[in-house]
Amino acid sequence: MYLLIQAHEYQKYGKLLDQSFRLRKRVFADRLGWEVCVYDHRERDRYDDLHPAYLLWCDEDRSQLYGSVRLMPTTGPTLLYDVFRETFPDACDLIAPGLWEGTRMCIDEDAIDRDFPDMRPDRAFCLLLLALCEAALANGINTMISNYEPHMRRVYQKAGAELDELGRSDGYGRYPVCCGAFEVSPRVLRAMRDKLQVGSPLYHRRAFPSRVAAAPALQFA
Domains and CATH numbers, the chain: 2-212 (3.40.630.30)
Is pTM beyond 0.75? Reply is yes
> How would residue 181 be classed by pLDDT, with cut points 50, 70 and 90?
very high
3-state secondary structure (DSSP) of residue 203:
strand
Quick check: 219 pLDDT over 70?
no
Average pLDDT over residues 48-65: 97
Q: What own/partner pairs with CB < 8 Å and gap ≥ 24 does 148-154 have?
A: 148/177, 148/178, 148/180, 149/32, 149/173, 149/175, 149/176, 149/177, 149/178, 150/175, 150/176, 150/178, 151/175, 153/178, 153/180
Provide the mean pLDDT of the chain: 91
- pLDDT, tens digit, for every residue of 100-114? 999 999 999 999 999
Distance CA 98, CA 172 (A): 27
Quick check: 208 pLDDT over 70?
no
Is 138:203 a contact under the CB 8 Å cutoff?
yes
What's 66's DSSP letter? E
Give residue 150's pLDDT. Answer: 93
Give residue 171's pLDDT. Answer: 81
Give residue 207's pLDDT. Answer: 56
The H-or-E segment that residue 95 falls in is none
Average pLDDT over residues 186-192: 97
Average pLDDT over residues 187-213: 80
Q: Among the residues of the chain, which ranges form H helices?
A: 14-24, 79-82, 109-115, 121-138, 153-159, 186-196
Is 162:188 a contact under the CB 8 Å cutoff?
yes
Distance CA 102, CA 161 (A): 14
CA atoms within 13 A on the CB side of 76: 13
> How would residue 216 be classed by pLDDT, with cut points 50, 70 and 90?
very low
CA atoms within 13 A on the CB side of 70: 25
- pLDDT, tens digit, for every residue of 143-153? 999 999 899 99
